Structure 1
Amino acid sequence: MGYADLHIHTVYSYDGTSSVEAVLKYVAEYTDLSVIAITDHDCITGALKAQDLAPAYGIEVVPGIEVSTAEGHVLALYIDRPIPPGLSLIETALRVGEQGGLCIAAHPMAAGTSSLDFQTICAALEHPEVRRILVGVERFNGGLVYTRRNPWVEAVASTLPLAQVGNSDAHVLRMIGQGATFFPGNTAAELRHALEHATTEVRKGHGLGGVEVLRDFIPRYILRKMGWVVHNSDPRAPLRLTRVSQALQNTTLGSMPGVRL
């Protein structure tokens, strides 16, 4: 039996604070997760990089995107090409399906961020093809301020004919695994089977409160804006606070000077 966290951000998100390598190292050394998904905002570059690097860290990565649909965010998983933002939930799901991917409704009804409401989710599920693709709902989100609304979301989400998923929505390393999904097996393929057959269960994290999470995130976010992110040059290297250029996606992070954390 395995655990997965299917909502993790890296520096390829505007609000991510850790490199792909740092996320992989943290997951391998500090969590019991066997599968993760990198889901940067409207960007698949980091996810594909993570998938290539993952074997060296002994974990499996599902490539994905947190897509900004016209009605709110949805996680697109098991894909290998970008999905354009701004489309309807139905059109987004259909495009994910064209790649053989799956969708999970991210942090539904969350205050302070672009989120799907349950009415929109239910309407999309009336489309027979979308019903095959939109297979899960994030019943527990261990992320920022919307953590406090999880009890109400859990009650409504549990009535939907969808796989029940827990994720961290991590933007700093310590958040990873603060929400997770329990599934039969320990591989990305077995996780997919569990999502499609709604045999997943939610694992809540240790209850990082909004103040505690913000205390971690805000300093890291400020450092990110100043050009510093958490990084390690290879699986054996320590995590370091590393200076990078603003052209982050095109920078070889391992060549930059760093300060050991």
Structure 2
Amino acid sequence: MFIDLHMHEMRYSGDSFLPLEEIVEIAKEKGLDGICITDHDSMGLREFAASYSKKVNFPIFVGIEFFSLQGDIIAFGIDSYPDHRISAQEFIDFVKAQGGVCYSAHPFRNNRRGLEEHLNEVRGLDGIEVLNGSTLKAACQKAAEYARALDLVPVGASDCHVPEKVGVYATYFPEEVHTVEELVAAFTKKNLKPAYYKDGKYHVLDVDKFLKDI
């Protein structure tokens, strides 16, 4: 399965121009097998997303992009989240206490919202976003280096806010995933791979080649 792990929907992400209905339509056209809505510091879309997922028979998972004091972290498998900014380590611990998984979003993007070198300090992250639709290639390559050095799962996601960005990157799941619980379980097996959309289909990224191209 190819799933876009990081997407923003306009109802709860004020900087997004995408309604869920349009995201799903584009995702299906591109051949995605599921999507994840990770709004900024909110999981308010959960009920609507669950209802719409059943209506259109398409997997829609709701996580969160939490802006910790050190940078953005994507999390899945949690029922609640802090109502104020806390440290990255505190948020990771918060996620783990609920049995969830989390990864560093665009850690080296030049907008002061990535964990950057704090990746060396925190403990408990499950992965790192090495392909991000709004991040320069060099920053993505640096993220890939860190994923390898820290033995964290490398993932891909569009981080879409506009239609043309939907599904430009995704993550390959080698097994079927239809619930958040299955998504979390798949993450912990550490066999996910970043993927990119090209010539009408998805391709798994060759991380070795990606790194040699630095």
What interval of TM-score do these two structures reach, taking the shorter chain for normalisation?
A: 0.7 to 0.9
Note if contact 1:35-1:61 (Cα within 8 Å) is conserved in structure 2.
yes
CA distance in 2: counterparts of 1:135 and 1:152, whole angstroms: 17
Show the counterpart of 1:196: 188
Matched, 1:123 2:121: yes
The runs of 5 or more residues in structure 2 that have no matched partner are: 200-214
Identity, in percent, stands at: 29
Note if contact 1:83-1:96 (Cα within 8 Å) is conserved in structure 2.
no
TM-score (normalizing by structure 2): 0.83
After superposition, where does 1:1-261 map in structure 2 within 5 Å? 2-11=1-10, 12-28=12-28, 30-117=29-116, 119-125=117-123, 131=124, 134-143=125-134, 145-147=135-137, 149-187=139-177, 188=179, 189-206=181-198
TM-score (normalizing by structure 1): 0.69
| Cα 1:74/1:147, change in 2 over 3 Å | same
Cα deviation 1:19-51 (Å, max 9, x = unaligned): 1222223223x1222222100101111244212
SS at match of 1:157: helix
CA distance in 2: counterparts of 1:94 and 1:179, whole angstroms: 28
Cα deviation 1:64-93 (Å, max 9, x = unaligned): 111010000000112233333410011111
Note if contact 1:180-1:204 (Cα within 8 Å) is conserved in structure 2.
yes
Superposed displacement of residue 176, structure 1: 1.5
Note if contact 1:179-1:204 (Cα within 8 Å) is conserved in structure 2.
yes
In terms of Rg, which structure is larger?
1
CA distance in 2: counterparts of 1:36 and 1:83, whole angstroms: 24
Q: Which amino acid aligns with 2:152?
A: L
Superposed displacement of residue 138, structure 1: 0.4
Show the counterpart of 1:256: none
CA distance in 2: counterparts of 1:85 and 1:68, whole angstroms: 9
Note if contact 2:173-2:192 (Cα within 8 Å) is conserved in structure 1.
yes
Superposed displacement of residue 113, structure 1: 4.3
Q: 61-70 vs 51-60, which deviates more?
A: 51-60
Q: Which amino acid aligns with 1:17?
A: F
Show the counterpart of 1:257: none
Give 4+ residue runs of structure 1 displaced > 6 Å after superposition: none
Aligned residues: 196
Superposed displacement of residue 174, structure 1: 2.2
SS at match of 1:15: coil
Superposed displacement of residue 148, structure 1: 5.1
Structure (1 or 2) with the greater helix fraction:
1
SS at match of 2:146: helix
Q: Which amino acid aligns with 1:200?
A: L
